[in-house]
Amino acid sequence: MRRFLEGKAALVTAGSRNLGAAIAEALAERGAAVAVNYLSSESGARAVVDRLDEFGSGHAAVRGDAGTPDGMRSLVAAAGRALGDRPIQVLVNNHGPFSMTPFAEMPPEEFDRVWDANVKSAYVAVGEVVPAMRAAGWGRIVNVSAGSAYLRNHSIYTLAKAALVTFTESLAVELGPEITVNAVAPGQIAESAEDIAEFDPSFVERAVEATPIGRLVTRGEVAAIVAELCGPLFDAVSGVTIPIDGGWHLPRF
């Protein structure tokens, strides 16, 4: 594995489980020292750090609430301290709870919770890391959108994940040339199939049927692309959202 992130400090929000943990591992494989963010499961985060240590030392589990502005500010500062008082040069905004409660039935509190955790937290995190990235002359930001951005029946989650696409494009214009900003939009991930089944029991079956490659994507596949977006192969790419869904989002007639 090319270690093109050697010497770089990275923060993955919600990095202690599922896709976030896979992204943390992919960044560590490529040489980064990774701050693995968690809110409630310290043991889970430390288990991830133990796996990352196989690729080199210097990683840390960092507690913080990525769903609130104050929590995010504190988290970024704590991550830098935990990684040896180093500025964050790779930021992956992975935090983002799901909801598909219909808008007409949704309490304002639920709207705010999902919007703030997916969109506002990313905005706050960017504000915290950009000064140091600019000072260093290099930075990489990857926002995790979702295949739901292309749907119109996932309510506030669709709205929030679609907003991240526009946010990514706007940031790319604002932050170049030192900083590139890209996003990924994973379709339904195979390892999380049971989670979506709680909301929509037939979703996975329909998704596989509508996917040209005939299967769901994996966490490892998504994580590898996130990591590569921070590497030299993508130095000339900014403002792009990559759907990682086997062609599932493509319109058909």
Confidence of residue 253 (pLDDT cuts 50, 70, 90): confident
pTM of the predicted model, to two decimals? 0.97
- What the block records as the tokens of 213 is 């490659």
Backbone angles phi, psi at 179, to 5 degrees: -120, 130
Token representation of residue 158:
């669709």
For residue 251, is it within any domain? no
> Is pLDDT of 142 > 90?
yes
CATH number at residue 149: 3.40.50.720
Task: Report if residue 75 sits inside a domain.
Answer: yes
Angle between helices 121-136 and 69-82 (to 10 degrees): 40
Amino acid 252: pLDDT: 85
For residue 1, the model assigns a pLDDT of 60
For 90-135, what is each residue's pLDDT tens digit?
999 999 999 999 999 999 999 999 999 999 999 999 999 999 999 9
Domain assignment of residue 4, yes or no: no
Residue 204 forms part of a structural domain:
no
Q: Which residues of 124-159 are buried (b: 16+ CB within 10 A; e: fewer)?
A: bbbebbbebbeeeeebbbbbbbbbbbbeeebbbbbb
Kindly state the average pLDDT of the residues 165-191.
Answer: 98
Beta strand 90-93 with 60-63 is: unpaired
Split into its structural domains, the chain has a count of 1
Q: Does residue 187 surpass a pLDDT of 70?
A: yes
Position 197 in a domain:
no
Residues spanned by the domain of 103: 9-190+218-243
Chain-centroid distance, C-alpha 110: 21
d(CA 210, CA 131): 43
> Which amino acid is residue 147, in one-letter code?
G
Q: From CA 11, how far away is CA 37, in angstroms rounded?
A: 7
Q: What is the DSSP letter of 57?
A: S
Q: So which residues are the catalytic ones?
A: 157
Amino acid letter for position 171? L
Exposure of 17 by Cβ count < 10 A (0-12 exposed, 13-18 middle, 19+ buried)? middle
